[in-house]
Amino acid sequence: MERGCGAMADTSTPMMRQYRRIKGEISPDIILFFRLGDFYEMFFEDAKAAAPILDIALTKRHDVPMCGVPVHALDGYLAKLIRAGKKVAVCDQVEDASASKGIVRREVTRVVTPGTVIEDSVLESGKNNFLAAICRSGDVFGLVLLDLSTGLFEAEETRDVSTLTASIRKALPMECIVPSEMADDTVFREVVAGLSSMHISACEDWTFDYDTARDNLIRHFGVHSLDGFGCEGKKEIVRAAGAALYYVREDLRRQVDHIRSFRVSSATDFLIMDEPTCANLDLVKQQGWSVGVNFSVSACP
């Protein structure tokens, strides 16, 4: 049977080696909640980053910084970290500890990010929590919005940067994924300027590859083509949508079976209003229009 977190803090133990292996499999910017009995423990830089946000004690054993939260209170602590713009990987015990002869097998069961929250304690009632995906080829942009909590999945393609900007500001996504090659794109920076609450995640370019993304969508929806969704041949939409599904399903290890529809819209479907008009009508929260950019880019898990 396993020993507790005191032994865990000894960097020479098999449990610590297990922790390091699992931590090494996720992006460095993701805080790992490592299940030890009735607590999720955090260590090293994760503990230093999480403790002040969660308002819990940061301790040290064997010179290893650590902190922990009770398993039964997970959602509340997740909410605090997500609101602070952090990503969290939840690592659970996937076998009965009492039946284990050695180290209990553990796996990351899900990764929670600002744009993929489904917990009621974090979501704002009556408001979509969108994950956005944006890609670009020349002057053509594809924008996809996915609300994992409701299964809402929609997209648009445009050549007009002002239309793209208006759509982003209308949706106010909490997170946006882009190909890594696009993270420093000048036009993209201008589009998201001022959206200080939106976290940017730069994903591997191949996940936005057209053929890969199209195959992801076809397999997910169980169809032979994307004609029924009105996006067959709309490369930027397909690239963004397929990458969004891959990110949620594979990188974050989240269930996507409830996403059964996909809507492609056009800017002509809506009345487009400029920023001052939206602000004067109180159509969006004023902080959405704040001046200045908090452009913090992290790699996908």
293 pLDDT above the threshold of 60:
no
Q: For residues 98 and 146, which has the higher predicted lDDT (pLDDT)? A: 146
pLDDT at 5: 58
Question: What confidence tier does 294 reach under pLDDT thresholds 50, 70, 90?
Answer: very low
Residue 31, SS3 per DSSP: strand
Same domain, 99 and 150: no
What whole-number distance in Å separates Cα of residue 225 and Cα of residue 228? 7
Q: Is residue 120 part of a domain?
A: no
What pLDDT, in 10s, does the model give residues 29-61?
999 999 998 999 999 999 999 999 999 999 998
pLDDT at 127: 82
Among 112, 145, 169, the domain boundary falls at 112
Mean pLDDT over the full length of the chain: 86
pLDDT at 276: 61
246 pLDDT above the threshold of 90:
yes
**6-20 in b/e burial notation, b at 16+ Cβ within 10 A?**
ebbbeeebebbebbe
β-bridge partners, 263: 154
C-alpha distances out from residue 274 to 158, 163, 166, 170, 271, Å: 17, 10, 7, 10, 10
Q: Is residue 122 part of a domain?
A: no
Of the listed ranges 31-40, 74-83, 263-272, the one predicted with least confidence: 263-272
Same domain, 107 and 135: no
CATH code for position 154: 3.30.420.110
287 pLDDT above the threshold of 50:
no
pLDDT at 94: 87
For the chain, how far is it from start to end, CA to CA, in angstroms? 31
CATH code for position 106: 3.40.1170.10
pLDDT at 270: 46
Same domain, 278 and 148: yes
Same domain, 156 and 294: yes
Same domain, 143 and 290: yes
78 pLDDT above the threshold of 80:
yes
Percentage of residues in the chain having pLDDT higher than 70? 83
> CB of 81 within 8 A of CB of 53?
yes
C-alpha distances out from residue 111 to 86, 116, 185, Å: 11, 9, 27
> CB of 194 within 8 A of CB of 291?
yes
Count of structural domains within the chain: 2
pLDDT at 122: 67
What whole-number distance in Å separates Cα of residue 46 and Cα of residue 87? 11
Same domain, 67 and 167: no
Residue 137 identity (one-letter amino acid): S
Same domain, 138 and 282: yes
What whole-number distance in Å separates Cα of residue 278 and Cα of residue 102? 60
Hey, how many other C-beta atoms are within 10 angstroms of the C-beta on 89?
24
pLDDT at 278: 56
Q: Is residue 165 part of a domain?
A: yes
pLDDT at 213: 97
User: Cβ-count burial of 134 within 10 angstroms (0-12 exposed, 13-18 middle, 19+ buried)?
Assistant: buried
Question: What confidence tier does 291 reach under pLDDT thresholds 50, 70, 90?
Answer: very low
pLDDT mean over 193-197: 82
What whole-number distance in Å separates Cα of residue 69 and Cα of residue 193? 36
297 pLDDT above the threshold of 50:
yes
295 pLDDT above the threshold of 70:
no
∠ CA(102), CA(104), CA(110), 5° rounding? Answer: 160
Closest alpha carbon to 114 in 200, 50, 240, 27: 200
What whole-number distance in Å separates Cα of residue 275 and Cα of residue 270? 15
Among 112, 140, 168, the domain boundary falls at 112
Please list the helix, strand and coil fractions of the chain in percent, rounded to the nearest 5, in that order.
35, 25, 40
The residue segments making up the domain with residue 230 are: 131-299
Question: What confidence tier does 282 reach under pLDDT thresholds 50, 70, 90?
Answer: low
Residue 154's H or E segment, with its range, is strand 152-158
279 pLDDT above the threshold of 70:
no
What are the residue ranges of helices labelled H in the chain? 5-8, 14-24, 44-54, 74-83, 161-171, 186-192, 210-221, 235-246, 275-280
Same domain, 196 and 91: no
265 pLDDT above the threshold of 90:
no
